[in-house]
């Protein structure tokens, strides 16, 4: 048995972990209570088997790629980072990029991950054409919108409940460069933030960092990041068309004491982050792919900042009607409790 957790490092569960090297061995590993696992970037316990956990990271081959249509067939253990680094220089990127590039293709399909363009282009599953699936009954099937469609739609966002994803066929986006034209908007409170997001609704990418520690007149103050794919004529002088950017080399080598993240340290960090972001507001800047889409990936093992106890992440969807009051209440309660987050992803 092995202690296994998600990226949030809570809960930690004893599970029998298997690493099969063939699709046949995957079938042999499946028993009641078995769960498939990709790169372990889900925050909670989604990729932990109560009895057995089968890691799919040994299946990391690209089966084929069509440079005309941008369609690609991959095994479930291929990482999004591998896909970007291999096909970005060829002018192709995934349509949907979540907050980390270290997720497996199988995990991205199973969770139907979303990105900064969810408001206009939907989730990851929208660009999946077909899935090779080993069902709980042990059958291997090809599922698509036309063939075994019930299994196909149940598997996208199904969190592994339909079986184990072995391969997936995706559509990639044709891009001219690997750069993003970014515009930063400083919003002094929640009302201003919501107006800015509404006004930027036509942008391909939009995301808000909200100062969850701010209260009173500053409640909900935010930095809004709008983005578009940049053309070659917009790049800095001498810049290569595809430049994903290098990680900072920074990392968290140990579990920090739980007292590290407290009301005062987060207040100080958020104040500094907001002021630095506000200085960049107003104009547009061309930034490389990684800093815009994956800011947290630049710090290795950043989840250790939360200490051994780990952390939980809560996400919610609120109807537009009355959303301002609900969001305001959530932010006010978080700020009063001192449980604010500093993350931007």
Q: What ranges do the domains of the chain cover? A: 2-55, 62-174, 179-337
Taking only the tens place, the pLDDT of each residue in 56-86 is 999 999 999 999 999 999 999 999 999 999 9
Given this model, what pLDDT does residue 293 score?
A: 95
Write the DSSP string, 17-80. EE--SSHHHHHHH--TTEEEESSS--SSSTT--SSEEEE-TT---EEEEETTTTEEEEETT-BH
pLDDT exceeds cutoff 70 at 342: no
Map residue 12 onto helix, strand or coil.
coil
pLDDT tops 70 at residue 255:
yes
pLDDT tens sequence across 31-52: 878 899 999 999 889 999 988 9
In this structure, what DSSP letter does residue 214 have? -
Say yes or no to pLDDT of 281 above 80.
yes
The answer to pTM > 0.85 is: yes
| Residue showing tokens 């710090």 | 299
Among residues 147, 175, 312, the alpha carbon closest in space to that of 235 is found at 175
Chain mean pLDDT for the chain = 93
d(CA 268, CA 270): 6
- pLDDT confidence bin for 154, thresholds 50/70/90: very high
Does the structure show a pLDDT above 70 at 211?
yes
Assigned fold of 62-174: 3.30.465
Using CA atoms, how far apart are residues 26 and 18, in angstroms rounded to an integer? Answer: 9
């Amino acid at each position: 048995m092995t202690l296994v957790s998600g990226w949030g490092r809570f809960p930690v569960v004893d599970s029998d972990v298997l690493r099969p090297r063939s699709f046949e061995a995957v079938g042999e590993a499946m028993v009641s209570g078995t769960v498939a696992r990709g790169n372990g970037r889900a925050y909670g316990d989604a990729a932990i088997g109560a009895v057995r956990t089968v890691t799919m990271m040994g299946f990391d081959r690209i089966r084929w790629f069509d440079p005309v249509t941008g369609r690609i067939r991959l095994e479930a253990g291929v990482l999004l980072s591998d896909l970007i680094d291999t096909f970005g220089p060829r002018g192709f990127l995934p349509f949907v990029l979540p907050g980390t590039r270290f997720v497996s293709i199988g995990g991205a399909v199973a969770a139907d991950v979303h990105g900064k363009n969810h408001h206009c282009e939907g989730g990851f599953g929208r660009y999946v054409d077909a899935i090779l699936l080993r069902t709980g009954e042990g059958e291997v099937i090809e599922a698509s919108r036309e063939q075994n469609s019930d299994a196909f739609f149940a598997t996208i966002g199904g969190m592994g409940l339909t079986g184990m994803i072995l391969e997936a066929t995706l559509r990639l986006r044709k891009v001219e460069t690997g750069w993003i034209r970014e515009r930063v908007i400083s919003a002094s409170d929640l009302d201003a933030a919501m107006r800015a997001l509404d006004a930027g609704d036509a942008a391909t990418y939009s995301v808000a960092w909200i100062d969850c520690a701010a209260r009173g007149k500053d409640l909900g103050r935010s930095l809004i990041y709008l983005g578009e794919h940049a053309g070659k004529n917009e790049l800095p002088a001498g810049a290569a068309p595809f430049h994903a950017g290098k990680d900072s080399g920074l990392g968290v080598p140990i579990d920090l004491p739980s007292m590290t993240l407290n009301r005062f340290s987060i207040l100080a960090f958020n104040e500094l982050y907001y002021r630095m972001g506000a200085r960049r507001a107003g104009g547009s800047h061309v930034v490389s792919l990684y800093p815009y889409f994956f800011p947290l990936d630049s710090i290795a093992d950043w989840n250790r900042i939360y200490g051994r106890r780990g952390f939980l992440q809560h996400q919610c969807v609120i109807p537009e009607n009355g959303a301002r009051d609900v969001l305001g209440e959530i932010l006010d309660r978080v700020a009063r409790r001192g449980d604010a987050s500093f993350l931007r992803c």
